[in-house]
Structure 1
């Protein structure tokens, strides 16, 4: 922007000098050329840093700007003193070889070539999408470089400055500047929004109107005098009367004042952000977002467009299970174990009682200092400066983490307010999505309950048929072959129907617990002994170092153990080894039973909770209700169950049950 401002100013000086050729102003233009060359050089210097560090980086090269400015000041002062010695004719200016003007032309030409080279390097570093945005900027900049190079080459060749050339160069520089300015405005290359406070506008609205009126009146008078015209008495008083009428109408017309007030309220702001615009932008992005992933993508797009940072992180979860990192920058290389925040994490605890976490605050509270100390490695690995909650009321479904602004600025209260507004809106959308998913799951279970009623009806019919078979057996009981077939069929059918009926009743939440005190070692040994007769290729070992007793239902606990072991057997039939370890937690006094195997493990997509949801299965022909049934039975026993994978391969299930006594 400095280069563009200097470019347009130099164009005006060229145009005025061509129209009004005077020796004193020639010297002013020559000095302006040198100053413009320094500014043009600084722009190329900045391009060098952008090329080296990439977009969005803070220019380290601008630390040398004071040195360059000091050198430029000395050079310009010396050039002014030398230019005052020149003689300028009425039609041209001539100079000799090795005069200050000659060296100035060499310097300007060298700077122009350097800028052209940097522009070419800058263009090569742009991606395809960025080239489309910067193409007009580059074209305009090359037009400026080419025009200046032509003028300086002519000046060095013929040692002459002509007014006609100044007119042409003024037009070319203006054209190049307009093209560059168009690219900056049209594609928003500055990545900045300029806000003017309403208070400023209201304070100066009347003086501004008066200034505009007098400026227009003075401009008309100046133009008429330039062309030798006298402003008539009628025209002069017409302007005065019209101005008075305008002020009177503005003061007395409430409708006009209301329209002006509306215009100022909708186009000028007092805050860094216009929260209404950002809120509407997020509302538009959230339309059609039916999943948590869709809500996260919408939030990220709005944050990327409104905040001056490329380091945006989003965690989702809840206070009971913790928070998982679901959105992060493409070049993120942080530690994987830091991607999950436990429910009791100090940062979560801090965010739960504070509106935001800002590591850059000057006056840090003791609570903030403690979090900074405990989470120092975590914050540095993510390069986090600001963490804001995605919350509404007491609900905290997520977190937003931000790295430093690439502008070098600091986060302030406007940023905190914006994140609060966007966070509450996103939290509402997330909770709505989760509620919809829970409702869909409830409907699935309701449909399954209805299906189970039909299945139970069919099983009862089959049981009736078997009862009739038993009645007919009276007439054929003396036949040995009928006896064998009948007894085998009846026993098998009844056993199968009883098992199906038991599972379907479990799905309908019709589980009745027969509470007993269970000796865990003997119970597991008996359970494994019965299973190994059916699963001969599975090796089971039990590790219990103390006498442990749990409070539970032997039938339900047997079903839980059987289901887990059969799943492991179906995943790997050959060389399957299962190890069961039971210990008592010292803090909670609960009995923890860990079941480990050497199978293929559990798919990451099913962890940590999807594995226990109904209808979720990866087994061919599986119903997806076995482990859901297990979780229901564990909950009936007032316990918990979790699943995961071992580091060396294989699955791990952990049950927590109440100790007896």
Structure 2
């Protein structure tokens, strides 16, 4: 366009024409009102009312609002503009409809509305590709009548091989060979005007059926080009949504597998504990004190197995208790009493120290570390548990004189699942222990030397002893 030349948008031209038509309508009405003036005062008012209501009724009957708008757009595109569509305005509206859906409007509904608005179609129906290779309706609806039947695999393959916009009026008049793969309910419904394939890359993700617009017309090359491009854009949105859904499902499976891996590790620890109890029973079965400890260990193992089953069930995802002020010594005493039947445990440290933690999570974390220490230690070498104060933190230590670990293993593999120096180990205990401690606001430190043993220190926030009520 030359500099300084006047350019009017389609919207402005439509508004100017609407204003001109309104002014012409008012002018004709005024002329008719003036023509009835000689009839006299009484008859003039009656004639004027009849003229106004008659002209308004005629306008509404001849030019319904929706049909008028479609008719004007069609005629203006044919006679005033080079192209049928204002591509900039159409694309802005299309992307806004796809991306700005409300909380109650699903993506499928936005897709149908975005494609229907392009051709002024009163309705649109989305068919999505299923895992069986069929195209089925995304949601139940009244239009069209045969949408519930979907489209077969042969039709889906045909559209995927040749992803062009289908002019259904032309197909209805085509020879039988050209339309043999088109579903009969599509060809038999004259309200279905066009079909738009939704292709992402080289994969068909869906298919859109468009209803006949208010002003009937044939599809032309601009319709084909714009609907084809819009279909590919819609296909990318649909593929992204399907990918997000698949990712969410994969995350749910990952979370289940993660919980299952932890539980398998805990079951292995219980099996090791019960195995040691069974071996010691052969030598100490006549000792009443050992029998009492064995019964306690078996009862505790049954309780822990029931807890593991509860954690594995879908209902076992309740949130843990928040940290509270308590004595870590009580947790260490419970662990020592449980584990002494399978290995010597030495307990030391302050009794009066309080910290901020969740006893259940702390017991589970220390239990993992103690079990690892027992498996790494010689049978007659005890595992040491101790408690001390370190500034504003409370230090709970698990010490063993076992095989130890290399600095490289600690740095790169210790806290990564499924890496273990033990034969048949899962490599999950230290990882879960650190996660449990971190969830309570603490941290886990480790020191180790090969052939000398390992020292794990759990550091928890120090807390003052609660005042009795």
TM-score (norm 1): 0.34
Question: Hey, which of these two has a bigger chunk of helix by percent?
Answer: 1
Larger radius of gyration: 1
TM-score (norm 2): 0.46
Structure number with higher relative contact order (C-alpha < 8 Å, ≥ 6 residues apart): 2
